[in-house]
């Protein structure tokens, strides 16, 4: 279901879109993301690049998909689950809590992670996505610390 051109504050549509995006992310089906990303979308992985080279800001769908692809090369994601979706009063800002197990493909070290994502929708597309994850733990299981 593509919700482009419609008001994104329809909670049912936003929840459906979040479920599509996270299901595709957990399944590593990145091209399924593209129709839902605004052309000027910004993805941010909060953290220090010292701890995680995946931290930083990525602009536009190609950069976003490339960044997520690089994470898929480095890590396996297991038992990923959405825990809670919280709407701001305007309906366009959404917080998502998630958890799962990350395993580094090179070191075989793994850890359980809890994360938080803030998504902003505009005209039914993801305009901004900020991901908060423990980048020090990422570094630890990757052997970077």
- The full set of domain ranges for the chain reads 11-142
Strands lying side by side in the sheet with 37-46: 56-59, 37-46, 125-132, 110-122, 93-104, 75-87
Q: b/e string for 25-63 if b means 16 or more Cβ within 10 A?
A: bbeeeeeebeebbbeebbbbbebeeebbbbbeebeebee
User: Across residues 119-141, what is the average pLDDT?
Assistant: 90
Residue 10, pLDDT score: 75
User: Across residues 15-34, what is the average pLDDT?
Assistant: 84
Q: According to CATH, what is the number of the domain 11-142?
A: 3.10.450.50
Report the distance separating Cα 80 and Cα 92, nearest Å: 24
User: Across residues 115-140, what is the average pLDDT?
Assistant: 90
pLDDT above 70 covers a percentage of the chain that reads: 92
User: Across residues 128-133, what is the average pLDDT?
Assistant: 92
> Whole-model pTM?
0.81
8 A C-beta contact, residue 92 and residue 5: no
pLDDT above 90 covers a percentage of the chain that reads: 40
Residue 68, pLDDT score: 83
Could you tell me which residues are beta bridge partners of residue 37? 126
Provide the mean pLDDT of the chain. Answer: 85
User: Across residues 75-103, what is the average pLDDT?
Assistant: 89
User: Across residues 75-93, what is the average pLDDT?
Assistant: 87
Q: Check whether 4 has a pLDDT greater than 60.
A: no
Instruction: Tell me the two tokens of residue 23.
Output: 């299901």
């Amino acid at each position: 279901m593509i919700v482009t051109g419609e008001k994104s504050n329809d909670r049912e549509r936003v929840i459906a879109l979040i479920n599509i995006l996270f299901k595709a992310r957990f399944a590593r089906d990145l091209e399924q993301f593209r129709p839902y990303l605004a052309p000027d979308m910004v993805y941010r992985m909060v953290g220090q690049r010292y701890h995680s080279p995946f931290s930083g800001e990525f602009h536009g769908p190609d950069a976003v998909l490339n960044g997520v692809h690089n994470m898929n090369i480095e890590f396996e994601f297991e038992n990923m689950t959405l825990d809670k979706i919280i709407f701001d009063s305007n309906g366009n800002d959404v917080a998502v809590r998630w958890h799962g197990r990350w395993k580094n493909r090179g070191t075989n070290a793994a850890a359980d992670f809890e994360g938080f994502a803030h998504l902003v929708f505009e005209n039914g597309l993801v305009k901004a996505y900020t991901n908060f994850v423990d980048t020090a733990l990422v570094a630890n299981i990757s052997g970077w610390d």
